[in-house]
Structure 1
Amino acid sequence: MDKKHRNIDKKIISFIPDGEFYYQKGIKAMQRDRFEDAHKYLQRAVELSPNDPLILMQYGILIMEEGMFEEAYEILAAAHGLDPEEEDIIFYLAEVHAHLGLLRDAKIYAEKYISLAPDGPLADDSMEIIDFAEQEEAFFVDDEAPDGEVYFLQEKARRLMESGSFDEAIDILESIIVDYPEFWAAYNNLALAYFYIGKIEPAKELLYDVLDKNKGNLHALCNLAVFYYYEKDKEELDALLELLLKIKPYQFVHRYKLGATFALVGKHKEAYGWLRSLKKRGFEGDAGYYFWLAHSAYFSGNEAVAKEAYDNLVELDPSKAGFEPWKDVNAAAKPESYEQDREFLLSKITNKYRSERLLGFYLLGKSAHKQEIVSHPSYIDLEKLSVIEQLFLANSLNYEFTVENDFDHSFMRALETTELIYAQYQPLDKQGTHLFQMWFTLCEVALTRSYHFRNPAALAAAADYMFQSSRYKGVTKTAIARSYGVSVPTLTKYVNELIEFLPQFNA
């Protein structure tokens, strides 16, 4: 009996797939051009055999062919650590370094392959890498190219920041600046990481230190401008922007940084100039580049370029489809209208008075700045918003409401009233914003008192009449009632109801 069980156990164990099993399936899938299956099999092979250098190498090659060069480097470096003399691993390390533009390291690895296998199958390819690296070296000074190890630590930290793992990124970046005290990119990214977790002063001090030791560091200047913008330090921001406007960078990376910074702080015309200059010179941008190019182009009046850039963005990141800055924007809206005035919107949604914030949240749905403002890390704190504020914000974000109780019905009719008023005054001028400020004061009080908003058209007419008659002579109920399609007695009835919600001031 025991012998029989042992035999069964052996048979079961022999059918449990190991890393080699998935490795062979991955190779076969690659030979048949089934790269999605190959990726899946080789990834599983690495999970089951993480210490097999050849399995790691093959997975690294596949990842590199998919264009994920930083990830490929980490895998190939791990394989090299397991078998430092394996010739093929050394060659592919040369290739991945070349793809990443780290030509000094690419040349070193290619030369090492030649020394180990002068007649090897990859010798000619290695010589091509060496020749290319030597040609390119003529255009760079010795100190420009970063050391391979520090570059990848920096890239790992950047990816961690993008995924929200700021504490892990900070640990890596702090270790980099200890070992490489003049690697300014690490300082700049560390400052950003500090800023994102709320360590504002240490973040700024780090940038001041960079600028003290590396005068005119453009990334530090741009990051400081972003910090001042988020802190609403207009005086410091304006002074720094005056300096940045005078800078005329040549390198692509500096043009990109400057353009993105101008776009973020609302200098769209200047942003468009720099970002568009990259496109004209054949720059192949990432998702971030096309995001800022689309926004700066749209807000500077170059709609055709904006739409082309956003199409490029969606190709790179399909999740951005439907979030174009011009989506849901009234075709009649003008750049100078208040719906399109970003500073006006920000002044409303960050106002200390709830009625003012309600106006801001409502107009956000009419604005091309909606996605930009909503995605900002500090403009809107949902946990601090009242239910009414959350509902108006949800409406602007195109949420579908489920009406379940009396309050929901009241809110929907209040929203309908608001839309009727907006239809009369769009696009908003100064007079329109004053009417809306009055309306949201009334609306806020009415909702908190469980008012039913039974006749939206009459309420819109009543609010409009109350506003106009208090400011202008010759305003008649007849004209206002006609414009909203209600009778004068009905308008009068709802004027009397809305008066009850006017703020009460003690004498």
Structure 2
Amino acid sequence: MKRNKIQMKGTQTNVLPFSMDANFFFERAVSSLDRNRYDKALKYFRKAVEYEPDNPVNHCNMAGILSEMGDYEASNAALAVILQEIDPSMTECYFYMANNYANMDLFEAAEEALMKYLQEDEDGLFLAEAEEMMDLLQYELHRPAKLSTIKAREGMVEHDMAREMLEEGKFVQAVKLLEEIIGKNPDFLAAYNNLALGYYYTGQFPKAMDMIHKVLEQDAGNLHGLCNLAILLQQEGNEQELDRLREGLRVVVPFHQEHLFKLATTMGILEEHEAAYGHFRRLLRDKEVQGDPYLYHYTAVAAYNTERYSTARALWSQLKKLDPDSNISSFYLSRMDDCDLQGQYPRISYHYNLPFEEQLKHPEKWENGFPSEIRDNPLIRSSFFWALRHGDHRTKLQVIQAFSLIADSEAEEALLAFLLEPEEDSYLKEMAVLVLRSLGVKGPVPVCKDGTILMVDPSKVCSSLPVWRSEWQAVVDLAVKNIGKSSDLQLQHDIETLWVDYLTRLYPDTPAIAHIEGWAAALDYLTAKMHGKAMTYEEVAKRYGISASTASRYARRVDKVCNMKEKAERIFPFVQ
């Protein structure tokens, strides 16, 4: 009997179709990898690329296996094909390239590829690994990475830079950078909080308060925002609202170290010293910050302000071991000795520096400028900006003179802004112009006077005369140069004022200026007398290399016109 070999239609066979496509070779490659057969895996990945040349994943797989096999150059070539010809959005390829370059000890190239990854990758898939690689490259290249921004952490790098500026006292620069960050990232609450501090440090309270309210509108429980709000309410004297906020802060027990430190310092500023002491003691138990000298000082201050005097002394003694180059601990231990003798213990500040009056007790020491430990101290810099906006007349004058010693771009910007304040005293503005001259500012600067903006050249003496001749300026310049204490702005100002007064009274019949030294000596002598300084014609003549009779003759000419002797006698005895 014959078998029927014809298969009925619709019936199925057990024979499977054999399809050789990219997936087939991909699976073979993975199987080879499982058996550690890298050579076969590479062969199959290359076949997958042949079947689907426009699929970036195939190229990336091939680059990966080439890297595993140590062929880093070929791996990078495959990755370059992806970025240049197939899919530039696969920014992770830059991270793979950076790894390959690092394995070849090409650290400059690795840094360039890594920076490209960080600047273009939005998802940050390898962000943690990239930061670890940055540390490695910094070690190998003996310098920090040339990083400007991280796309996956938009604004974070800039924000860290702004925080450093605030810590260094570069408040104006920090404010500008934080304003830019917020413009690009309107939901970046940490930037709002730090911008509020920047405004606060520069005395711009309404703007600071506005920033804080914007934070709390988005996050009502934001601890940094609440602490900043408490500080501003205290400054405003809004006791009712501050008491309500203070009650809420008293019961907060932060978990994170950063929040704990913020609350501790805030409670100290609010004079809630018991709460501040408890928080600082908790921080001291944290091994990560146990060696921080600032923390020991803050805790010592809190202990002192809560009458734990033996604890405060012990903490300052420990601080002396941690920071032996600083005189902070010695100062406060000495102060405690005085307090023990007097039986009085006045409250002290939490700031880690000597009190402001201690820094400037002997201004003659700073004729050549403040030392860096004073000039760069954020607290002192902040107090300068604060006092220039909110101090009394005498304090503002001290700050303006201090800016001549600080002598940096921040001081210059603060003075330029001060000149535009419509309510400020004209005498103080004249002093500010003198400091700008000493800082080398040239060309006209805007000054608000009686509601009108005038352009004033700091390099020239201010005068209402229709002309100002070079020989007149030369007399002032010589006198100012020879007064021996350029930091005394009032003396310099009065020399200029006297000279302008003299020329104005005689104009247009002003005398010919043939003997610059004689006229300068006269201004020096008469101004010194007006300030009650002992001065003889012999002394001033020696200073200018002229005879005493010459100095006397020119001084009498100025006095005859301006009646300086009579004016001076009203204020000081006019001693010859």
Fold agreement, TM-score > 0.5:
no
Q: TM-score, normalised by structure 2?
A: 0.39
Higher radius of gyration, 1 or 2: 2
